[in-house]
Structure 1
Amino acid sequence: MTQTPPDTWTTYLVTQESVSDRSTPEVVRRALSGGIDAVQLREKGTAAVDRYELGRQLRELTREADVPLIVNDRADLARAIDADGVHVGQSDLPVPVARELVGPDRIVGCSASTAPEARRAEEAGADYLGVGAVYGTDSKDVADRKDGIGPERIAAIAEATSIPVVGIGGITADNAGSVVEAGAAGVAVVGAIAASSDPEGATRGLRAAIESE
């Protein structure tokens, strides 16, 4: 497994083939060429067997590039494809249960939109927090109170916790710097890379925006 710690993930790709005109493996391959730091297999609405087969392909690509692969929601799938970890939301398996399923050596991330949620996740043993939706999102359904929370909430959560924060939701190269400036270790994106006509260039642009802060 790849042991790159979450506090070094400045750019994090969350996969969703439905927003792209390319296959997910092709998007991931190009993002890896562009210097992406972590990849999460999400693919909402895809059957488990198809996510498994896709996960096996992504595992080969990310392992070759020495980049961590995280699986959204499914601890069992993370183990089945030998991923580096799992990311759970507030309505998914609790962090301690996910940790028990994937083992002590894998990464467990948790979504949070408020400081209390973030503190609970940290106390439960999460390794990093996915915080959003920072600028709003079209890639998944989220409650209005969690959509467009802004960099100010990133700052509040980063101050309230000691584990790395990754901002997500409506993030592009134009606004990524504000998220990192607010205290995030990095940013996670879906469409900014997957929907781009040049996923490699989009990844490089995102990295450049963050590194300029």
Structure 2
Amino acid sequence: MRLPRLVVVTDRTQAAGPLADVVTAAVDAGARAVLLRDRDLAEDDRAALTADLRAVLDPVGGLLVVAGATGDAVHLAAAEPFPAVRPRLVGRSCHSAAELTRAREEGCDWAFLSPVAPTASKPGYGPALGVEGFARLASLGPPPYALGGVVPADVPALLAAGAHGVAVMGPVMRDPSVVREYLTALGP
């Protein structure tokens, strides 16, 4: 599978409305990959939300990745153990050279490398890498997505620095129409 250039990361605490509605608007704006991150939901609620998001993404051939779950496409936290049975697609959050190397050695399909810029969505990680720091680390792991404080104007420099694409949470959760700006910046 060809990895998408934009991954929308969910956070219902920042969402401009019900999460399924925000994701629907992001998909309507052109998003084709979504990471369901909301790990704090009760298991039944998370399963229901997963089904709702699949119903939004499946008709457009989109990809739903679920954080820390078993299934077809999963995304792991930096310290989370690799699944005993490898999912079809698996990514990992990374913040350092060692974490990127681990993700590459595990055979991850992608890595989220963060934080690129200071962000209230991801406190406690840092300092921010900036474009230069991202460039120094980008080749150490699987195809990297820039995450954390990335705005559309940053995208060309991050692509030049080795980013496969960008993962965006806060801006899309607050205004899903911004997906169009990210996709324009990412190009064809």
TM-score (structure 2 length as normaliser)? 0.91
Kept in 2, the 8 Å contact 1:132–1:147? The answer is: no
Q: For each residue in 1:103-159, what CA deviation from the matched residue of structure 2 results, as whole angstroms up to 9, or x when unmatched?
A: 45x21101111222211211111111110011122223433xx34111222212222
Report what 2:92 is aligned to. Answer: 110
| Aligned AA (1:64) | P
Larger relative helix fraction: 1
SS in 2 for 1:175: helix
Counterpart check, 1:207 vs 2:186: no
Give me the whole-angstrom Cα distance separating, in 1, the residues matched to 2:52 and 2:128.
33
Counterpart check, 1:129 vs 2:111: yes
Name the % identity.
30
Kept in 2, the 8 Å contact 1:11–1:206? The answer is: yes
Match of 1:26 among 13, 21, 24: 21
Q: For each residue in 1:2-61, what CA deviation from the matched residue of structure 2 results, as whole angstroms up to 9, or x when unmatched?
A: xx432xx21110011111221111111111111113100012432222111101100111
Give me the whole-angstrom Cα distance separating, in 1, the residues matched to 2:31 and 2:127.
25
Give me the whole-angstrom Cα distance separating, in 1, the residues matched to 2:145 and 2:40.
24
Kept in 2, the 8 Å contact 1:10–1:37? The answer is: no
Residue 180 of structure 1 deviates from its aligned partner by 1.6
The 5-angstrom pairing of residues 49-198 of structure 1 reads 49-75=44-70, 79=71, 84-92=72-80, 94-95=81-82, 98=83, 100-101=84-85, 103-104=86-87, 106-143=88-125, 146-161=126-141, 163-196=142-175
Structure 1 gap ranges (5+):
none
TM-score (structure 1 length as normaliser)? 0.81
Residue 170 of structure 1 deviates from its aligned partner by 0.8
Give me the whole-angstrom Cα distance separating, in 2, the residues matched to 1:152 and 1:37.
28
Please, what is the CA RMSD of the aligned residues?
A: 1.8
Structure 2 gap ranges (5+):
none
Moved over 6 A (4+): none
| Aligned AA (1:90) | A
